Chains A and B, each alone.
Chain A
Amino acid sequence: MKRPPFLDGIRGKLILIFVLIKVVPLLLLAWFAWHAAQSLGDDVSDKAGGMADATLETIQSIGKTVTDDSIRALDLRSREAIEALTTDTARKIADFLYDRDADILQASHVEPSEGAYRRFLSERKRALFQHGTWRLAEDEKSWEPEKEHAEEALVTRPILPDNAKDFHARPPEYLGEKSMRPLFVEMTYVDLDGNEKIKVTTGDLTQKSLKNVVDRNNTFIRAETYFAELKKLKPGEIYVSDVIGAYVPTDVIGPYLPSALEKAGKPFHPEQSAYAGTENPVGRHFRGIVRWATPVVANGRITGYVTLALDHDHIRQFSDRLMPTEDRYTPIADAIKGNYAFLWDYKSRSISHPRDYMIVGYDPATGHPATPWMDTELYAEWQASGKPSHEFLATVPPFRDQKLARKPAKELIKAGTLGLDCRYLNFSPQCDGWNAVTEHGGSGSFVIFFSGLWKLTTAAAIPYHTGQYGATPQGFGFVTIGANVDDFHKAATETATKINRLIALKDLEFKAQRQDLLDGIEHSLTTTAVGLWTSTLLMIAVVIGIAIWMANLLTGRITSMIGGIRKFREGRLDHRLEVTSRDEMGELTRSFNAMADSVEESFKRLDEAREKAEQASHAKSAFLATVSHELRTPLNGILGFSELLKSDLTDPSHQEYARIIQQSGEHLLNLVSEILDLTKIEAGEMTYNRIDVDLRSFLDETSAVYRSAAEAKGLPLRLILDDALPTTLHTDPTRLRQILNNLLSNAIKFTIAGEIELKAFPVDDMVAFAVRDTGPGIAPEFHETVFEKFKQLEHFLTREHGGTGLGLSLVRQLAENMGGRVTLDSTPGTGATFTVFLPVEQAHE
């Protein structure tokens, strides 16, 4: 990985290290702090939110529990209240009926006469409450009373403080317009053959003419068959009939309004259709009777029977005015709202209903029961049977598989015969339920979803057991009250609504508070973050600044030290660093200065030594030069004049003397030269002036010098140059010549016959110069010693040969000094070969 250039320097590295060890932890610290603050914020937010949610949830849960409990409590209370109302009503009805027992027994003691009977009837009246005139509303969508009855509770005295809490006053209970009506519509005296002997009527419900009641056609709407029953009565025993009345059909179910009639395709005649409370307040009323009868005894003998036909309206009063709501009573029933009371007889037939068309009645034409309402299945069965309904139904088990899933027969709705005979009202399972709770004389309730409403429905047996009604514990029949459950707990649901509204408000409040809290936390976090990061960045900037400053401080001193060292290295040995501190850098500076001192001292000593050596060397050279000069100077005279003498003298013996002097001088000169050369070499004073030497011409010249001398001795001198010989050789030609001269002169000197050969050839990176002679050769044991100084003297007639004894020694010294060597190859008797090897490329000194 390539390093950025600024890291090459210590300064960059120092800054980087500072940044690493300071900035990174700083950033980490800041990050941790920020993270902690944030998680704290998140935590607080979560907890706050959770707390708010939990509180809200608790409130909601409490609200729901309270509401549910309230609803439950209210429902229970309502149920109890309505159940109580139901049983109370049943009791009242029973009491009322028992009073009629008393009436009939009293009637049996009345002398059978029209006047007495009329008096009897007129003494027995009871209040009936009925609503005023109602009319169709202008929009024809409902019926409305002509006169609204509104009465407020009147309290005219100050309410005492002690009574003020929950002080509640109601106006007088309003059941409607009160009118006194005779209890009975008819009072008859029937003889033992069934002939009505006396008949007094009130109103015109019943016929006024006297008939024989054995024939039912002569009875009320041809439906009474009581005479057979009368015959069974013993004195004091009472006969009580069923509720008997003509069935009143309707044109429609529900509100009798022009639109409904139009829909049903029937003319709008509300007066001709059955009365139905608020649904049809102007309709035709069901009118019925219940006949009481008991024997009239005279002288211990039954002489006839007295009967009293109770106006059924008086029984209906017990249920029709009831309102199972806080209103308690109503002048007009409202079936739609689901709050009303019914009465059912001992056969579970409707005998009182807000809708008169639902009261079971008889067909006045036949005296047989009108066809009741049936479900589709039963209706189909009836249709299939081909029998009159009352005959068909007599074959059907009562309460057969009653359930809400069944559908009412539409044909009967169309026919308008909708009497409720619970035994066959199979789409109304509550019929079964009512019987379940009342058939043993008890009471009870249940809740059922019917006609689109959850209804509490109660039932209580009417404990009246006279006559036929004594056959079952159910007695006269039962009272049922239907109540809209929602109305019971309206208060609770209103409270719940209030609670929910409060909760919603509280929720909003909580949310606002939480938002405020969250905003606060957010703001706090932001502030923390800004502060944290600002201070961190500031600290980082400061740290980086300090890092750069310290790096500069450190590296500045190092740089100045490096500058000083560079100056020192460049030769300013007297340069010293300024000591500015006592720390490690100062110590380093002092150490450097101390080192510089010793280096300078060493250099000084070295210089002095070199100077001395140079001086010594110079002196040596000068000495050698002087020696050479001083030795040569006298030789000049000796050699020069001996040569002159030799030519000038005529006497041969004198000439010989002169020649000897010259020869001796020359020998001396050679000796001087070679001694000086060796001395120079050994003193290291010998200098080599190397140039590129043209080997061929050089060797030609050199051999030519000796060829004449060799040929003078009858020796051919052959020069052999190898083809691979380099053209030039970088060497000192003077010294090479000196070497070859020595070898060639030796060869010529020691060879008597034969030949001399100079051969040059390359060997590896050397050039070899081999001088071969055919002289006596040199024994192997002397191969080394011949190269030693003056060794020749021992074995050769040096004088004879004119050698100095230093030649070969000089040859070897020169060859070795020039980076080469010299070898000897010789067999005594056959000659010798001296080979000098010189390097082709000599290291430049």
Chain B
Amino acid sequence: MNDCLALVVDDHPTNRILATALLAKLGWTASEAETGEQALALAATRPFRFVLLDISMPGASGEDIYPELRACLGTGARIVAYTAHAFPEERQRFLSAGFDDILVKPISRQQLQEVLPA
């Protein structure tokens, strides 16, 4: 079942629960991290293939930890920004940073399904 391991990183519990629930509906097992540091620590332990990474978090932001997370998970993992930053310039910034895709809050099951790894 390692193929469907996902990591949801968000400081808001609501967002984490929703993402985990939706992922579960789609057949993914998600671990949750409340901070970037937790996320990096978790990533070192399991081979997540999909990460929903919030950008605005207290402490290290999603953008801050992204390089380390990518280095940790490798290019095989799909790291998607999970954010309420919806402005095009912000989207562009995230894509430039290396994120595979962006899932703009509020999300729907459909939208989540579209950004999952094939």
- List the interface of chain A (C-beta within 8 A of B): 624-625, 628-633, 635-641, 643-644, 647, 665, 669, 673, 687, 689, 734
- A636 with B87: CB separation less than 8 A: no
- B108 with A640: CB separation less than 8 A: yes
Interface centre among B83, B90, B105 (most CB of A within 10 A): B105
- B15 with A633: CB separation less than 8 A: yes
- A636 with B15: CB separation less than 8 A: yes
Closest residue to B108 on the A side, CB-wise?
A643
- A640 with B56: CB separation less than 8 A: no
Cα of A644 to Cα of B112 in the assembled complex, Å: 13
- B18 with A641: CB separation less than 8 A: yes
Q: Say if the beta carbon of B107 comes within 8 Å of chain A.
A: yes
Cα of A637 to Cα of B15 in the assembled complex, Å: 6
Question: Which A residues are in CB contact (< 8 Å) with B88?
Answer: 687, 689, 734
Closest residue to A631 on the B side, CB-wise?
B84
- A629 with B56: CB separation less than 8 A: yes
Q: Say if the beta carbon of B70 comes within 8 Å of chain A.
A: no
- B15 with A625: CB separation less than 8 A: no
- Other A-B contacts than A636-B14, A640-B22, 13 sampled, CB-CB below 8 A, are A624-B87, A629-B56, A632-B84, A632-B105, A633-B84, A636-B18, A636-B105, A636-B106, A637-B106, A640-B18, A643-B108, A644-B22, A647-B109
Question: Which A residues are in CB contact (< 8 Å) with B105?
Answer: 632-633, 635-636
Q: Say if the beta carbon of B40 comes within 8 Å of chain A.
A: no
Cα of A625 to Cα of B93 in the assembled complex, Å: 13
Cα of A637 to Cα of B84 in the assembled complex, Å: 11
- A625 with B90: CB separation less than 8 A: yes
Question: Which A residues are in CB contact (< 8 Å) with B46?
Answer: none
Q: Say if the beta carbon of B86 comes within 8 Å of chain A.
A: yes
Question: Which B residues are in CB contact (< 8 Å) with A641?
Answer: 18
Cα of A636 to Cα of B84 in the assembled complex, Å: 8
- The majority secondary structure among interface residues of chain A is helix
Question: Which A residues are in CB contact (< 8 Å) with B106?
Answer: 632, 635-640, 665, 669
Question: Given A633-B12, A635-B106, A639-B108, A625–B18 Cβ distance below 8 Å?
Answer: no
Closest residue to B13 on the A side, CB-wise?
A637
Cα of A631 to Cα of B90 in the assembled complex, Å: 16
Counting contact residues on chain B (CB < 8 A from A), the size range is 20 to 34
Question: Given A632-B104, A637-B15, A644–B21 Cβ distance below 8 Å?
Answer: yes
Question: Given A643-B109, A669-B106, A637–B85 Cβ distance below 8 Å?
Answer: no
B19 CB to nearest A CB, Å: 8
- A625 with B22: CB separation less than 8 A: no
Closest residue to B112 on the A side, CB-wise?
A640
- A640 with B84: CB separation less than 8 A: no
Q: List residues 71-118 of chain B with CB under 8 A from any CB of chain A.
A: 83-90, 92, 104-109
Closest residue to B91 on the A side, CB-wise?
A734
Question: Which B residues are in CB contact (< 8 Å) with A687?
Answer: 88-89
B3 CB to nearest A CB, Å: 24
- B85 with A629: CB separation less than 8 A: yes
Question: Which A residues are in CB contact (< 8 Å) with B87?
Answer: 624-625, 628
B116 CB to nearest A CB, Å: 16
Cα of A559 to Cα of B101 in the assembled complex, Å: 61
Q: Mark B46-86, 1 if CB is under 8 A from A, else 0.
A: 00000000001000000000000000000000000001111
Cα of A352 to Cα of B38 in the assembled complex, Å: 189
Partner of A632, one of B22, B25, B86, B108: B86
Question: Which B residues are in CB contact (< 8 Å) with A643?
Answer: 108-109
Closest residue to B105 on the A side, CB-wise?
A636
Question: Which B residues are in CB contact (< 8 Å) with A638?
Answer: 106
Closest residue to B54 on the A side, CB-wise?
A633
Cα of A773 to Cα of B90 in the assembled complex, Å: 36
Question: Which B residues are in CB contact (< 8 Å) with A644?
Answer: 18, 21-22, 25, 109
Question: Given A628-B85, A687-B89, A637–B14 Cβ distance below 8 Å?
Answer: yes
Cα of A636 to Cα of B17 in the assembled complex, Å: 11
Cα of A669 to Cα of B14 in the assembled complex, Å: 18
Question: Which B residues are in CB contact (< 8 Å) with A637?
Answer: 14-15, 18, 106
Closest residue to B18 on the A side, CB-wise?
A640
Cα of A664 to Cα of B87 in the assembled complex, Å: 22
B56 CB to nearest A CB, Å: 7
- A636 with B85: CB separation less than 8 A: no
Q: List 10 A-B contacts (CB under 8 A).
A: A629-B86, A632-B105, A632-B106, A633-B15, A636-B107, A637-B15, A637-B106, A647-B109, A669-B106, A689-B92
Question: Which A residues are in CB contact (< 8 Å) with B104?
Answer: 632
Question: Which B residues are in CB contact (< 8 Å) with A625?
Answer: 85, 87, 90
Closest residue to B87 on the A side, CB-wise?
A625
Question: Which A residues are in CB contact (< 8 Å) with B22?
Answer: 640, 644
Closest residue to B103 on the A side, CB-wise?
A636
Closest residue to B55 on the A side, CB-wise?
A629
- Which 4 A-B pairs have CB atoms at the shortest separation, nearest pair first? A632-B84, A636-B105, A639-B106, A640-B18
